[in-house]
């Protein structure tokens, strides 16, 4: 396990993360105070899809892979995230199951923010939640933009309706 990160180091790390961009030092300090150090081992599943979560992870060093299981049982890699990124933030705002699996690619150092401590911090510093919501909204808009660039017209009608498309009847050969 890596040495514990000092409060001033945590504040500097948080300041560089987009999700906390623009927060005052007092607000960053409030968040930093309740964050815990954790080092994930290579290949460790930090977040498991469908589990109930109560933590957000702020990536200090290393990389993680974010994936989602498809209906066919295969995993679809959604993203690779590294230093300055974060995962699990939705768990701080709702009680829904985790939407993806997050796996450490090599050793990964993170700061862990627990839901209960987050809620206590937000009562005193509401700007923290507002800033996080702004960043989450930006992420959602980027996702919408990405979806709009997808070639939807090339998708079969069954994909859009969820219905099975009838297979064409074989034609007899003239042979």
Is 123 inside any structural domain? yes
pLDDT band at 1 (very low <50, low <70, confident <90, very high): very low
Q: State the chain's mean pLDDT as an integer.
A: 87
Q: In terms of residue numbers, what domain contains 12?
A: 7-148
Is 128 inside any structural domain? yes
What is the pTM (predicted TM-score) of this model?
0.77
Number of domains making up the chain? 1
Q: What is the DSSP string of 91-160?
A: GGT--PBPSSEEEEEEEEEEEEEEHHHHHHHHHH-HHHHHHHHHHHHHHHHHHHHHHHTS-GGGS-HHHH
Task: Quote the CA–CA distance of 108 and 159 in Å, as a whole number.
Answer: 38
Is 73 inside any structural domain? yes
Q: Using the predicted structure, report yes or no on whether residue 70 has a pLDDT greater than 50.
A: yes
Is 155 inside any structural domain? no
Is 173 inside any structural domain? no
Is 104 inside any structural domain? yes
Specify whether the CB–CB gap between 59 and 35 falls below 8 A. Answer: no
Query: Per residue in 4-57, pLDDT tens?
Result: 889 999 999 999 998 998 899 999 999 999 999 999 999 999 999 999 999 999
Which CATH number is 34's domain given? 2.60.120.10
Task: Quote the CA–CA distance of 134 and 172 in Å, as a whole number.
Answer: 61
Is 131 inside any structural domain? yes
**What integer pLDDT is reported at residue 51 of this predicted model?**
94
Is 126 inside any structural domain? yes
Cβ atoms < 10 Å from Cβ of 5? 18
Cβ atoms < 10 Å from Cβ of 54? 15
Query: Per residue in 105-154, pLDDT tens?
Result: 999 999 999 999 999 999 999 999 999 999 888 888 987 887 778 776 66
Cβ atoms < 10 Å from Cβ of 128? 20
């Amino acid at each position: 396990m890596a040495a514990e990160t000092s409060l001033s180091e945590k504040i500097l790390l948080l300041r560089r993360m987009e999700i906390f961009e623009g927060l005052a030092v007092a607000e960053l300090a409030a968040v930093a105070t309740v964050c815990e150090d954790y080092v994930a081992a290579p290949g460790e599943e930090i977040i498991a899809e469908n589990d109930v979560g109560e933590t957000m992870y702020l990536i200090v060093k290393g990389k993680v892979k974010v994936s989602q299981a498809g209906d066919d049982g295969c995993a679809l890699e959604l993203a690779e995230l590294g230093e300055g990124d974060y995962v699990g933030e939705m768990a701080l705002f709702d009680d829904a199951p985790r939407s993806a699996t997050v796996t450490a690619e090599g050793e990964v150092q993170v700061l862990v923010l627990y839901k209960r401590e987050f809620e206590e911090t937000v009562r005193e510093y509401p700007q923290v939640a507002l800033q996080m919501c702004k960043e989450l909204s930006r992420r959602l808009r980027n996702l919408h933009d990405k979806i709009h660039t997808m070639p939807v017209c090339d998708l079969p009608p069954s994909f859009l309706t969820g219905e099975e498309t009838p297979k064409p009847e074989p034609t007899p050969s003239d042979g």
